[in-house]
Every structure is written in structure tokens, then in C-alpha cells.
Amino acid sequence: MDQPENLPQVPESEAKRSQNANKKARLSPMMIRLRATMAAAKYHGVDLDLRDFATEPGEKSPSPATLARWLNSQGLVAKGMRLKWRYLIRMFNSPPVVLMFKDGSAGLMVGVNPKKGVVFLRDPLGKETDAPVAVDELRLRQAWTGDVLLVKRNRNLSEAEAPINFLWLAKMVLRERVSLRDIAIASMVISILQIFPAFIVMQVINKVVNFHSMATLVSISGLVLILSFYEVLLSYARRELTNVMATRLDARISIHTYNRLLALPLEFFERQQAGRIVGKVSQIYGVRDFLTGRLMATFLDLFTLIVILPFLFYISAPLAWMVVAGAGAIGLIVVLFMPPMMRLYMQRIEEEMERASRMYETVAGIRTVKTLALEPARRQEWDEIIAVVSKWRLATGRMSNWPETLVMPLEFFINRGVILIGAYICLTSPTAGVDAGAIVAFMMLGNRVASPLVNIAKLMSTIMEVRTALGQAGEILNNPTETKELTTGLRPRIIGALSFEDVNFTYPGGSGRALKNLTFSIPAGTMLGLVGRSGSGKSTITRLLQGVSRNYTGFLRLDGVDLREINLTHLRRSFGVVLQDNFLFRGTIRDNITAGRPGLTMDDVIRAARLAGAEEFIERMPAGYDTEIEEGSTNISGGQRQRLAIARAVIMDPKFMILDEATSALDPESEALVNANLERIAKGRTMVIVSHRLSSLVNCDKILVLDQGIMQAIGTHDELLETCEIYRTLWLQQNRHLDPNKKESNQSNGHGNSTMLPKEA
């Protein structure tokens, strides 16, 4: 029988003990906890990768919440919670549950037997077929903190993938039902408390003033004081509850939208303007404001209505009817003006978004704007869009001014007219039950009924705004994500052999095929050069490799495994990619090399920097690896930036490197430096190097010549010079200045552009 090794109290044989001691020495409690979690996920068919796990700062061992975040990001549904033994023991037929232990490790509960009062634990480090161990309450308590992590399979990726619409919104709000209930109770009580002052004033006028009763006044005053105190307290509580709930909703919406945005495929971002994406997604904050503002207010108003309206009818039905009729008329006006308002409003949103995206474009392209002195042109464009926005803004303002003006007389009627009519009734027919007190009560409460009624009508128009906003955000966020590909699929060990079999690819919306019947293969460890004219499909090949575009036909295999079968995250992690223009994030050089990937030490950073040839210049920087990269990386040169990008790519020791025009924007000296390092980097890796400068590819094991998406030839530099017309032409074009007469001697001639200079020290 195997022991769950982190249950110290369980008696065990000597042999077992020493074996477990060994295991423990190797694995920290935190590691055991992570392994238990991975075992629980494995049960649902999800192979977790430790590299996806991000520790929370300050956590010795990951909390259930941290683990749940990890699992949720991998397409499972996980939840950390505190559980009592009596609930734990009743979890029949449950998938494995991770039990948190006090030493920071964890156990894996795979079954229960309530009759015998035991749960069954399996060693998280053992095999799935290992026999579980029965543990009773007493023994479990000594190790278990009471926290568990429940893991479920995500049915059709339900929540994370649910489209963003009203249903989604409703679910989001309903998750707060406990808070909502408390807020509702508080509102009811407040409303009741609000009735009392009116009621009391009625008494004061009818009894105290009419009968000059001092004793009644004193007791009433006391009551008023106490009630006021309670109202203050309750209002405070309600605001606090509302605030907490609004904050939670806000956080949830923000996290959800961001996750969704990150899950969208790269292809999607390429087809859209960044400014527009941000603009549309930001509309979701309008939805949040609606939820936490207008909807909440109306919800609270409803309770006021439920309490106060009957009270008003109790005091005087005719007057109450008049209030309701007035409010109804206001509501009608609001509803009538809604459709034209909406049309204008949508137009205005559209134009405002355009304005935001113009601003974004200018900021993003400010270098070009400034260097070409394009300010006047940009300003002119801006003025034009502002004129349009102003037009629509004014129009919506004008339009909304109408209903607001029209409802004013009705509001006067409710506030003042009803009182006057009440006074008239009081004077003419004293038996109608409308006395001075009732009139005052209406003065105090009439408005509290009218404004909620109007607000409910207004809510309808806001709902239309929200629908627009949701539509806008959904236009971006409801696009198909690549979550499924990122979380499922094989995770084979990548060695680096690569083959294309009759691959055809057309860009979505593209005119023709970008790749035509591409077939070739290279063994692991090859340095493959890709050459061809601009637009011949070189970058497209690298994109297919990285799974950026997946709707190609034919087969693309890595070490014989169909690329489509491979987990996308795993695939992309197996590649080190350096592009022509690499984005450096705000932060230190060290941060940029690790790029936030967990588990990397300073030694790794230095090793990567050395391999990339970046070490020498980093060490010359004022703060070394802690030098802050400035916005737009102005404090480092282009060559330095490329070397940082290479360091960032090689730090994970990828078996596969892709360099797409990585040295094309560099000066010859930097290019030579980088190229010299590449040969060292290439050891033990498959490299795909795209360059339009043939001279930097002469040392490649294989060079593939592409033209208009068709493979023209594949071979070494020398072979291609002999056999491939296109290659020879390109080569001569680039190197004619060196040796115009003797083309054959070019190869032995230092290879042209001085890009293969001897390595620097």
C-alpha cells in the first residue's frame, strides 16, 4: 500500500519511510502542491505545464485561489474553498479534490467512504494506478488546513467563452445575489424608516398643532431622533454594500474582458486598427457604469416604491393616483423620445470612437508625424473629426433637451399641483379624508415615488445604450478565440525536424495564395535560410510554423507530429522568435530578457545575454542588468535592441529559432556582430532565418528560394548559384559592386556585404 507521503502521522514501513524522505528532499512542499494540482487536472484530460503557473508575490506555497487561477486559465473550472469534514466525506463520485496541507504541500483525495468515515488519498507524485490510502478524520485533521481545490471540466468552455451579451451580463450580476439581497433588505428598511418622519409630521400637525399637546411633541421628537439615527446607519451600510459589490463587478468584468482579448488570435489583431479595438473594448466600462449606477439605483428605487406607494394610497387614494398618473405621463414622454435619441446617440458613439482612434494613431506614429513635420495635416484631420463629433454631440444634447423640458410641467404637477389639489379637496369636502397632515405627507413623499417611476422609464432607454455598448465590445470580444488550441492538444518533446507537405495557404481576405504546394523537409539542427523577393511568402512560412495562421491545407509536421495536433502554447514556447522590430516592454533589461516568465534566475539571464552577444554592452551600461529601458527604447541602439531580443528568445533554450529579417534594419557592424553570434546560437537548434541579404545566409545548411509563394529551389549556397536562376540573379544584384567581372569568385570573396565578419571578442 502506498502512502501519501505528506501525511506524517500515517505509520509506514521503514523502507517506505526512507523512500519518501528521499522524495521530500527533492521536492519542496510547494512542488508537491503543484503536482497534486496537476494530477487533479490530468484526471480531466488537461496536461498542465508548470511554466504557465505564476506565483503570487509573498506566497510561500500557492493558495487555492492562485491555483484556481492557473487552472481557470488552462480551460478548467476550479474553485478554492474552505470545507468541513462532514461535507468532504459526502463527496461521492467527485473528481479528485486537492486538499491543502499545513506544511504547504497538498494531498489528492480520490474517493470517500462515509460509512467507514474515511477518505481515500493518492500520492500526488505516484502513478494514477497507485492504490489510494484510507485516512480518517482525526488523522486528516492533523495535516489538512480545511482548504480544498475543486476542479471540474469546463463544459464547452462555458463561462470563459460565453458570448458577451445581455445573458452574460445577467449571469455576472446574479453571481452577486447575496449582496443584492442584503442591499435590498437595507433599502426596504430605509424606505420604511423614511415613511415614519412623514407619518410623524402628519401627527404633529394634526395632533400637536391642533391640540397644543406638549407631551406628544416631546415623545414624537424622541422617536424622530432614534429613527433618524437608524436611517443614517442603514444608509451607510447600504452604500458600503453597494460599493463592495460594484468593485467586485468591476474587477470581474475587467479581468474577463482582458482575458478574452488576450485569447484572440494574432490574425485578428492584424486585421483591426489598435485604436478601434481599444475603443470598442472600452465600451464595456459603460456597461459597468450602467450596472453599478443606473441599474442599481433603479433596483433600489423599486423597493422604495414597494414600500411608499401603498402608504400614499393609504393616506389618500385620489392624490396617490394623481402622482402615479403624472409619473406615468413622464415615462411615456421618455419612451417616445427614446428611438430618435438612440439613433443620434449611436452615431455620436461611432464618431467619438473614430476620434479616439485618430488620437491613438497619432501617438503611435508620433515619430513619423514629427520627422515628416506632419503636424499641420494631422491637426487638420483632427479639426475635421472634432467638427463631426461636435455636430452629433450638439444634436444629441438638443434632442435630449426636449423630453427634459416637456416633463418639467409634469414634475411640477406632482410636486406642487397635487398639493394644491389636495388643499382644495381638504377645503371643499372635509369628509374626503384629505387633511393638513396628509398634504404634508404628500409633500414629503410624493417626489420619492415620482422619481423612481420616471427612473424606471429612463432605464429602458439606458438599456438600449447598454445594448449598443455590449454590441461594440462584443464585436471585438466575441470573435473566436484560440483558447481551445492554447489549452488542449499534444505537448510532444520538440527536437527540431520540420517538414512541409503540399502546403497551400491563403490569407483571410487575401487575393491569391500566399503559399503554393510547398513541400520540403529538413532534419533537426538544420540552419535553413529563406530568400525571395518581398512578398514572396517568407514571413508566411514562419507564421504557419508558429501557429499564427492555422487554416492552411496540406501537412506541416514537427518531428513527424502534425502541427495542428500540438498544443499552441507549447508550440510557441518551443520557438524562439526574433523579428525585425521587436517590442521591448517598460522595465529593466533583466525584466525584458525574462519577459515575466516564471522560474528564471539571474544566471539564466546572464547566460542568455552572453549567448546573444549582449553581455558586453549590458555590463557597460550604468546600472547593468538593472538599467531601465526607456519608453520607445531610446537609450539603446538598434543593434543592442536586437541582441536583447535574441537573449529574450534564447533564454528558454528553444529547440527552434525563427529570425525574420532580424538583422535587416541594422548597420553592417551590428549585423555582423549579431550574425556571428547566430552561429553559436545555432548549435543544437533548428534555425529558420529569413533575410533579403543573401550574404548573411551563405553559411546556412540549406537555403530555400521562394518566388510568389512557390518554392523555386532548395540547396546550399554553392548549389543554388549553379542551378537556380533566381538565386543567381539576386546574388549578383547584391554583390555586383564587389566583383563585376568574375561572378564565380564571389563565394570565396568574404561573401559580399561584410556581414560575416570574424567574431568579435
In the bound state, the residue with its beta carbon closest to Mg ion is 539
Q: How far is the CB of 514 from ligand ADP (least distance, A)?
A: 4
CB of 648 to Mg ion, least distance (A): 20
Q: Is residue 672 within 8 Å of residue 696, measured between CB atoms?
A: no
- Give the nearer residue to Mg ion in terms of CB position, either 457 or 649: 649
Examine residue 663 and tell whether it contacts Mg ion (CB under 5 A).
no
Q: Shortest approach of ligand ADP to residue 540 CB, angstroms?
A: 3
What is the C-alpha to C-alpha distance for residues 603 and 760, in angstroms, rounded to an integer?
23
| DSSP codes, 691-743 | -S-GGGGTT-SEEEEEETTEEEEEE-HHHHHHH-HHHHHHHHHHHTTT-SS-S
**What is the nearest approach in angstroms of ligand ADP to the Cβ of residue 713?**
16
Footprint (CB under 5 A) of Mg ion, residues 522-541? 539
Nearer to Mg ion, 539 or 735 (CB): 539
For residue 575, CA distances in Å to 49, 62, 542, 633, 653 come to 16, 29, 10, 24, 9
Nearer to ligand ADP (CB atom), residue 265 or residue 403: 265
Tell me the closest approach of the beta carbon of residue 506 to ligand ADP, in angstroms. 8
We find the least distance from the C-beta atom of residue 564 to Mg ion, in angstroms, to be 23
Nearer to ligand ADP, 284 or 528 (CB): 528
Q: Whole-number minimum distance, CB 660 to Mg ion, in Å?
A: 6
Distance between terminal CA atoms of the chain?
60
Quick one: DSSP state of residue 490? B
Which 3 state secondary structure label does DSSP give 144?
strand
Q: Give min distance, CB of 731 to Mg ion, in A.
A: 19
Residue 87 CB coordination number (10 Å): 11
- Of 491-550, binders to ligand ADP (CB under 6 A) are 507, 510, 514, 532, 534-540
- Look up residue 582 and give its amino acid: N
By C-beta, is 300 or 545 nearer to ligand ADP?
545
Compute the least distance from the CB of residue 520 to ligand ADP, in Å. 16
Per-residue interface string for the shown chain with ligand ADP, residues 265-304, x marking contact by CB under 6 A: -----x----------------------------------
CB of 655 to ligand ADP, least distance (A): 23
Judged by CB, which is closer to ligand ADP: 62, or 537? 537
Residue (274 or 332) nearer to ligand ADP, CB: 274
Q: Are 518 and 634 in contact (CB under 8 A)?
A: no
For the packed helices 214-263 and 296-315, what is the interaxial angle rounded to 10 degrees?
150
Residue 724, classified by CB atoms within 10 Å of its CB into exposed (0-12), middle (13-18) or buried (19+), is: buried
- How many Å apart are CA 90 and CA 70, to the nearest integer? 27
Applying the rule CB under 5 A, the residues between 33 and 92 that interact with Mg ion are: none
Q: How many CA atoms lie within 13 A of 124 on its CB side?
A: 29
- Judge contact between 580 and 660, C-beta under 8 A: yes
Cβ proximity to Mg ion, 291 vs 690, nearer residue: 690
Q: How many CB atoms lie within 10 A of CB 252?
A: 14
Residues 6+ apart with CB under 8 A from 465: 286, 290, 342, 345
Query: Which partner, Mg ion, ligand ADP, none, binds residue 536 by CB below 5 to 8 Å per kind?
Result: ligand ADP
Work out whether 712 is an interface residue with ligand ADP (CB under 6 A).
no
Distances (CA, A) of 675 to 601, 699, 755: 27, 10, 7
Toward ligand ADP, which CB reaches closer, 8 or 510? 510
Site string for Mg ion, 150-189 (x = CB under 5 A): ----------------------------------------
653 binds, among Mg ion, ligand ADP, none (CB under 5 to 8 A by kind): none
User: Is the Cβ–Cβ distance between 446 and 312 less than 8 Å?
Assistant: yes
Find the helix or strand (DSSP H, E) in which 98 lies. Answer: strand 97-101
Partner interacting with residue 677 (select from Mg ion, ligand ADP, none; CB below 5-8 Å by kind): none
Amino acid type, 738: L
Locate cell 554592452: which residue?
A: 617
Name which of ligand ADP, Mg ion, none residue 693 binds, using a CB cut-off of 5 to 8 Å depending on partner kind.
none
**Closer CB to Mg ion, 652 or 705, in the complex:** 705
The CA distance from 256 to 236, in Å, is 30
Using alpha carbons only, how large is the chain's radius of gyration in Å?
36
Number of amino acids touching Mg ion (CB under 5 A): 1
Size of the site for ligand ADP (CB under 6 A): 12
Q: Which is nearer to ligand ADP, 85 or 507 (CB)?
A: 507
Residue nearer to ligand ADP on the CB measure, 349 or 541: 541
502 contact choice in ligand ADP, Mg ion, none (CB below 5 to 8 Å, kind-dependent): none
Taking the C-alpha atoms of residue 459 and residue 455, their distance in angstroms, rounded to an integer, is 6
Window 191 to 230, contacts with ligand ADP (CB under 6 A): none
Least CB distance to Mg ion at residue 538 (A)? 5
Q: Letter for the amino acid at 342?
A: M
Q: Which is nearest to 504 in space by CA: 434, 456, 551?
A: 551
Minimum distance, C-beta of residue 535 to ligand ADP, in the bound complex (Å): 4
What residues line the site for Mg ion (CB under 5 A)?
539
Question: Which positions lie near ligand ADP, rule CB under 6 A?
Answer: 270, 507, 510, 514, 532, 534-540
